[in-house]
Amino acid sequence: MAQHIYFLGIGGTLMGSLAQLATQMGYQVSGSDQAIYPPMSDQLDDAGIVVHEGFDAKQLEPAPDLIVIGNAGLPRGNPAVEYILDQGLAYTSGAAWLGDTVLRNRWVLAVAGTHGKTTTASMLTWILDQAGLQPGYLIGGVPNNLALSARLGDSSFFVVEADEYDTSYFDRRSKFVHYRPRTLVLNNLEFDHADIFDDIQAIQTQFHQLLRTVPSSGLILAPSSDDNMNEVLAMGCWSQLARIGDEVPKKTFDADNGDLWSAANTSADGTGFDIVLNGKSHGRIAWSLLGRHNQQNALNALAAARHVGVPIDQGVIALNKFEGVKRRLELLFENDYFALYDDFAHHPTAIRSTLEGLRKSVGGDNILAVIEPRTHTMSLGTLRHELKTCCAAADRVFWFRAENIKWDLSEVQQNSIVPATMFDKHDRLIKGLLQENSAANTQKNKKTHVVIMSNGAFGGIYKDLVAQLA
């Protein structure tokens, strides 16, 4: 009989994806979580994985062969965690299980950074897939070009979204130190995760631990003009290094002598641009993705794919067929005068980038940003001052104050550089958005674009709102 692995916290993007990989490897798989939402709930159901709701210790009887413990909502004091420790059951963390069981002896291509991990990892996987390399992958989202968020694959290559959040209650290192990549993409680095990191220096220390795991024959891709990332590289870099950006970085360490990737001849809305390597053009991207941040994601994906042997022109052909990732400015509803989008942006920089990209695309149309600052960093108010200005590209903003907010969100509303309204009830927010739809119907020559931004389920307002709009 197959070994039984139980995933505690199976509803998370990492844990749910690991459960799918374990099923593909032939293990008997089950798990539990406090609450599980689509699309992960749908993927687990499709994989035939038994999922329990809540953390009742009785679910662990008879004892599984191994319990994989997630890091979200599973501290000491959790009844299942306490039962595991009291009974002396075998357990490990999700990141450690991935590194030891799935990634060992494979060529790991890891995508790390504050922003863009999911999109870049999806692009990279798609390029390798189209090149016939049949990669394995684990992505913290649902790419539109791929059927699942995780796949074991049929080659030595494995693409993984490498998160800097801590591993588990018993392992406070960042998850990515378990992955040991040979190709490492470093998208960018900003302060985030204020619940576990005191300052940017604490995050930089973890990123430098990641650099220490890359072999000298490996490749690190880093932005050319990111000061925080440059400080990490200056702590020590022992691998090949290539740069992503429009400027040649100042050479501050010996390894800084590799390729320079950049974009040129960019269209106004960012949907078209040339791929340039060391001053020479290598084809043009023309797609529906907006914004400069997606150009950087594309450059990183092409450079990483080239490291494993995919020619640039072949990668460009693949990216021209790339359809994006769910919840990345995903169009949910549209008619002649109103468009509704779902976007995962939750950090001020990501909010700003998304709205600026949309503004360049829609010109003088109306843009309404609807934002739920629900992450641990946002709930603590750590970046509240940036929230006042990150919506500058929108005409107005609706702020939603969730119950976990531990500070007065009205100060952001009052000091916003664009007109702002605050809501604290989902039904009132939906009513307000329906009123916006009605008002948009009366305007001539202008369309209203509403972007809902949250990294959570937002109380299920998407389904309710689309149903009423339709």
- DSSP codes, 280-317: EEEEEEE-S--SHHHHHHHHHHHHHHHHTT--HHHHHH
Q: Which helix (H) or strand (E) holds 120?
A: helix 117-130
Please check whether residue 341 is in contact with residue 331, taking contact to mean a CB–CB distance below 8 angstroms: yes
The tokens 């790339």 sit on which residue? 322
Q: Per residue of the chain (470 residues), what is the pLDDT tens digit? A: 689 999 999 998 889 999 999 999 999 999 999 888 777 888 899 999 999 999 999 999 999 999 999 988 799 999 999 999 999 999 999 999 999 999 999 999 999 998 888 899 999 999 999 999 999 999 987 788 888 889 999 999 999 999 988 899 999 999 999 999 999 999 988 877 667 778 899 999 999 999 999 999 999 999 998 999 999 999 999 999 999 987 655 554 444 458 999 999 998 888 899 999 999 999 999 988 878 888 999 999 999 999 999 999 999 999 999 987 777 778 888 888 888 888 877 678 788 888 888 888 788 888 988 888 766 656 565 666 677 788 888 988 888 887 777 667 777 777 788 888 888 888 888 788 788 877 777 777 788 898 888 876 776 777 777 777 77
- This prediction has a pTM of 0.83
Give the C-alpha distances (Å, rounded to integers) separating 21 from 3, 101, 137, 148. Answer: 14, 10, 9, 10
For residue 202, report the phi and psi dihedrals to the nearest 5 degrees: -65, -40
CATH homologous superfamily of 4-93: NAD(P)-binding Rossmann-like Domain (3.40.50.720)
Q: From its phi and psi, is residue 268 left (phi > 0), alpha (psi between -120 and 50) or beta?
A: alpha
Which pLDDT does position 253 carry in this prediction?
A: 46
Distances (CA, A) of 379 to 67, 114, 140, 193, 419: 31, 17, 22, 10, 22
Burial class (CB in 10 A: 0-12, 13-18, 19+), 47: middle
Write down the pLDDT at residue 255. 46
Determine the pLDDT at residue 383.
67
Structural fold of domain 103-319: UDP-N-acetylmuramoyl-L-alanine:D-glutamate ligase (3.40.1190)
Q: Where in the chain is the domain with CATH 3.40.1190.10?
A: 103-319
Q: Where are the domain boundaries for CATH 3.90.190.20 in the chain?
A: 330-469
Calculate the CA 342 to chain-centre distance: 14
The fold for domain 330-469 equals: Protein-Tyrosine Phosphatase; Chain A (3.90.190)
